[in-house]
Chain A
Amino acid sequence: MYRYDEIDQRLVDERVAQFRDQTRRFLAGKLSEDDFRALRLRNGLYVQRYAPMLRIAIPYGLLSSRQLRKLADIAGTYDRGYGHFSTRQNLQLNWPKLEDVPQILAELATVEMHAIQTSGNCVRNITTDHFAGVARDEIVDSFVWCELIRQWSTFHPEFNYLPRKFKIAVNGALADRAATFVHDIGLHALRKADGEVGFRVIVGGGLGRTPLIGHVIREFLPWPHLLTYLDAILRVYNRYGRRDNIHKARIKILVKERGVEKFRDEVEAEWAHLKDGPATVTQDEVRRIEARFTRPEYEQLADVKYPAAKSPFAAWMKRNVHPHKQPGYAAVTVSLKKTGVPPGDMTSAQMERIAELADHYSFGELRVTHEQNLVFADVRQAELPGLWRDLRDQGLATPNIGLLTNIISCPGGDFCSLANAKSIPVAEAIQRRFDDLDYLHDIGELDLNISGCMNACGHHHVGHIGILGVDKNGEEWYQITIGGAQQGRIGRIIGPSFARADIPDVIERLIDTYLELRDSENERFVDVVHRVGVEPFKKNVYANLDQKPADRRRALAA
């Protein structure tokens, strides 16, 4: 964990006092609805379908057990006893009272937490790889760079009223586990042969209504220039990004309309003035931030081998346990995707229990993933069976990480006022259809994402299978895309939308098609889509849609 120093703490406390006063003025009628909206959004407070929604920042997804206990306590005291982990590695409370929010923020501040810039047209929570610091393919510890950027972006006086929201992701390992190509800015750490560290700078990716893959505007930016370069990009965007149409205001549209070359030239011209200025990052500052992170004190241990028997524990080992750079340790994903539980939801009691387990098994820390699960990053391999039993008792050991039922989903029409359609019942219907674990493992790696509207909070465009809720004359319909990938591919729409009741059948037909077409178990669903294209899937899905898949299979066999 990064530990605040006295100034970090003071700024968060001052933010609480500021928002308390703003709320007081609003309730006293001295601040208009419109003005207060801009201010409350910058503290994560939305006014939703049934109640306000408060989005609490979990910077780069890193959380201590102490903080999780506080979240459990807040959810119990000020809400209905549960919270929702979002795809932005944040926690959302769906039922707080507006008048209580200043007090909630004050409570968060006591554990070095806040809701600063979790919404509004400003730089949002920085996200990263949930295996940062423990991955075997690590280049740099991305948490350090995320914290540097967090401080730079917090109350940045020039960039608090951008044309639109702004999302930055940092990836510090060889594999991109932070979806850097679908962010406003993606930073991918690189290390040259001579040891010099820098970042590949990717700009203009994003999902939402106009899904676009980002462009590399600089192959290698030496690390001291990180903040001046971000200033240059943001300044060009702040000055020239469109403000006439909310749907064309993201930086991706500016990059697209200007062309990548011209946009890059403008950034470079701006940067020429800022380069080597006072905002140039120093080695001292990087060391200072590094030193403020607590680190696990690993023991010298040997790896532990578990027999690959066919057992529930072995299935969990295979899906939910991940390699670690330190011998004798493993990273473990705690699945929040048990069938029947809305993806990402967790009760206060579960949070309390998870905090205990984190203390016992993983140095009192955990991470929130953009797949809406939790990770214990530093578990002794010898303790994996004990951890598995404890998680299983809580319903948190579903061995489905990377599989079809690990569904990523926004809260959808059950909660969100923007949604066209519900998403949670769709997720549940799919989980129920694919409840056979052997079958699920046979289908193999598959990302399934659901968004209740084109704002794409469930990241449906980058799901191997994506489901999007659409509104047709006041009715809820669902559009299906296939072939998307978090590493930077946008899925393609297979055809006209479906009624909710048809979705499990449609998914089953997609899977049947895949199983027929794959050349081996190693060829994943998404690989087959990329190899053969959308057509064979489309043909199978839309043929005799009124028949049940089982009947149809019999008919085909006859």
Chain B
Amino acid sequence: MPTLIRNRQIVAEPSPPDLVVFEPTDDLAAFAGRIGSLRIIAVNFPKYGDGRGYSIARLLRERYGYKGELRAVGVVARDHLQQMERCGFDSFLLREGENAQDALAAFDDFSEAYQANAAQPAPLFRRRSGR
């Protein structure tokens, strides 16, 4: 069974039957009206190196103001987790074979980020100059 991590915790929970899954090629604008009413949205990563889901996550959070649970599904591996979180994901359905306990450490790989991102809307330089 693939393991689910939510808010940096391993949780045992079946996926809801009505899970809305965005594929990399989906047109977000067409869904704009429905996004606010959803409690959970999943974004699929079909390959290890397919980075479209990162942009989709940021758009959902920053453009469409989505506040519910945002779940990464598909090829989701330990070494993706921190950047996914920075793009706005808060839950992660790890691919088969990943060690969830080990993977939790990945959220702390880097203690800072230069960029503005979904998790930290002020880029480092705005916080640096504020010191």
Chain A neighbourhood of B109, CB < 8 A:
14, 17-18
Interface size on B, residues (CB 8 A): 36
Interface 1/0 per residue, B56-92 and A, CB below 8 Å: 1010000100000000000001010011101100000
Q: Mark B99-128, 1 if CB is under 8 A from A, else 0.
A: 100000000011111111100011111101
Partner of A151, one of B24, B111, B124: B124
User: A157-B86, A278-B116 known; A288 and B51 CB under 8 Å?
Assistant: no
Docked Cα-Cα span, A273 to B61, in Å, equals 13
Rounded to whole angstroms, the CA-CA distance of A38 and B49 in the bound complex is 7
Choose among A239, A277, A284 the residue with the greatest number of B CB atoms under 10 Å from its CB. Answer: A239
* B121 close to A278 (CB less than 8 A): yes
Within 8 A of B (CB), among A1-28: 5, 7, 10-11, 14-15, 17-18, 22
User: Number of residue pairs across A and B with beta carbons under 8 Å?
Assistant: 105
Q: Tell me if A155 is interfacial: C-beta within 8 Å of chain B.
A: yes
Q: Is A306 interfacial (CB 8 A cutoff)? A: no
The answer to whether A11 and B110 touch across the interface, beta carbons within 8 angstroms, is: yes
Say whether B50 faces chain A, with CB atoms less than 8 Å apart. yes
Identify the B interface with A (CB < 8 A): 24, 48-52, 54-56, 58, 63, 77, 79, 82-84, 86-87, 99, 109-117, 121-126, 128-129
Q: Which residues of A does B touch, CB under 8 Å?
A: 5, 7, 10-11, 14-15, 17-18, 22, 30, 34-35, 38-39, 121, 151-152, 154-163, 227, 235, 238-239, 243, 273, 277-279, 281-282, 284-285, 288
23 contacts between A and B (CB under 8 A): A7-B112, A10-B112, A11-B110, A11-B111, A11-B114, A14-B111, A15-B110, A18-B109, A22-B79, A35-B79, A152-B123, A155-B115, A157-B115, A158-B51, A160-B54, A161-B54, A238-B54, A273-B63, A279-B116, A281-B125, A282-B125, A282-B129, A285-B128
New contact pairs (20) apart from A155-B83, A161-B49, CB-CB < 8 Å: A7-B124, A11-B114, A17-B109, A34-B48, A152-B123, A154-B114, A155-B110, A156-B114, A157-B82, A158-B54, A159-B54, A160-B83, A238-B51, A239-B52, A243-B52, A278-B121, A278-B122, A278-B126, A279-B115, A288-B129
